[in-house]
Structure 1
C-alpha cells in the first residue's frame, strides 16, 4: 500500500532594518526627511506541493529583494536566511520536520542595480545548505544605492517517521 502523501506549506517572513536621515542644524529643511534604509522583502507564502514519506519536495519561494537606500558612499551588506522546523498538528516528534532536512540555495541574481559586486550565497543546487543555522543568502560590496533580487529554492526531505499532514514553517530573510 503506498504511503499517504505529505503536503508542505511554507510561510515566509520579512525583516526590515531602517533609519531616517535628518538635516543639519545649519540647513533649513522644507520637506520631511526621506526614509533611508536597508530593506528586504520576500513572499509571505509559498506552497511547495506534496511528497510521500522519505521523498523530497522542491520548490522556489518567489522573488526576494534586498535594497540599500541608506546613501552611505560605500556599503557592504549581507542577506541571511534561517528556518524554523516544519510542523503539522501539535508538532510532536513524528509531526516535525527538522531544519536539518531543509535545504536552501539562492541561485543567481534575477536582477541587480547599482555599482558593486553582488554574490549569491549558493549559486547552484550543488552549493545548497541546510537551514539548521543562519546562512548567507546574498551579499553586496559597492558604492551608493543598490538592489538585488533572487528566487531561492527550498528542498525538504520528508523523514521516514513523519506523520501525514500539511506542514508549515517560517523562512526568515534579514539584511545587515
Structure 2
C-alpha cells in the first residue's frame, strides 16, 4: 500500500509493461545472414603487333642507312599472377634483282636497337633489348627486342625500333627488300 492506502498493484503493472516491451523488441530483431559471392577473372592472350611495312629511304654503297620501323606493341591480357614475356627479333638478308651475291645485303649487315618504350601499362620491369644506338645488335641471329619480368596482371609495351643497314661497297643499284620478324614468347 502506498501513502494513500492504495494497493501497489499499479507499480507492478508498469514493471510488467516494460518487460513486455523488451520481449517484443527482442522478437522483432533478426540475426544477420551471410551470402557467399563468387566470380571469375578471365585471362586473354599474349600478342605482338608490328608495322606492315617500312621504307628507310636510300643510301650509297659503303655508307650506313638507318630509320625507324614504326611502333611495335606487345599486349599481354593473360592476367597472370607472375607475368613475363620476351619479344625477339631477327632479319632475313635484303635482296634486289635476281638476288645474286652483288644483289644481296646479308642480315649480318643489318643492326637493330629497340630504344626505350614510348608507352607501357601494367606492373613489372620493362627492359629494352638495346636501349641506345651504341647497343645495336646485328640481326643475323635472334635478339631480344624487349622484355617484361616480375609483372602481375595485364600489361603492354610499345617501342619504335631503329634499323641500321651497313650498305656494302659491292652493293648494286636497286630496291632491296627483306623481312624483319618480331615474335613473342
**TM-score with structure 2 length normalisation?**
0.76
1:146 to 124, 137, 155: 155
Does residue 116 of structure 2 align to residue 116 of structure 1?
no
Residue 35 and residue 91 in structure 1: after superposition, are their counterparts in 2 closer, same or farther (change >3 A)? farther
Structure 1 unpaired stretches of 5+: 1-26, 28-33
Instruction: Give the structure with the larger helix fraction.
Output: 2
| Segments ≥4 residues shifted beyond 2 Å | none
Give the RMSD, CA atoms, in angstroms: 1.5
Q: 2: distance between equivalents of 1:45 and 1:57? A: 17
Alignment of 1:35-46 (within 5 A): 36-46=44-54
2:46 match: secondary structure:
strand
Does residue 103 of structure 2 align to residue 88 of structure 1?
no
Q: Which residue does 2:164 correspond to in 1? A: 155
Point out the more displaced range, 128-137 or 71-80.
Answer: 71-80
2:102 match: secondary structure:
helix
Does 1 or 2 have the higher relative contact order (CA < 8 Å, sep 6+)? 1
Q: 2: distance between equivalents of 1:149 and 1:71? A: 19
Q: Which one has the largest radius of gyration?
A: 2
Instruction: Give the structure with the larger strand fraction.
Output: 1
Once the two structures are superposed, residues 4-53 of structure 1 have per-residue CA deviations (whole angstroms, 9 ceiling, x without a partner) of: xxxxxxxxxxxxxxxxxxxxxxx9xxxxxx77111000101110000011
Q: Which residue does 1:6 correspond to in 2? A: none
Does residue 134 of structure 2 align to residue 126 of structure 1?
yes
**TM-score with structure 1 length normalisation?**
0.80
Q: 2: distance between equivalents of 1:93 and 1:72? A: 48
1:156 Cα deviation from its structure 2 partner: 0.1
Q: How many equivalent pairs are there? A: 145
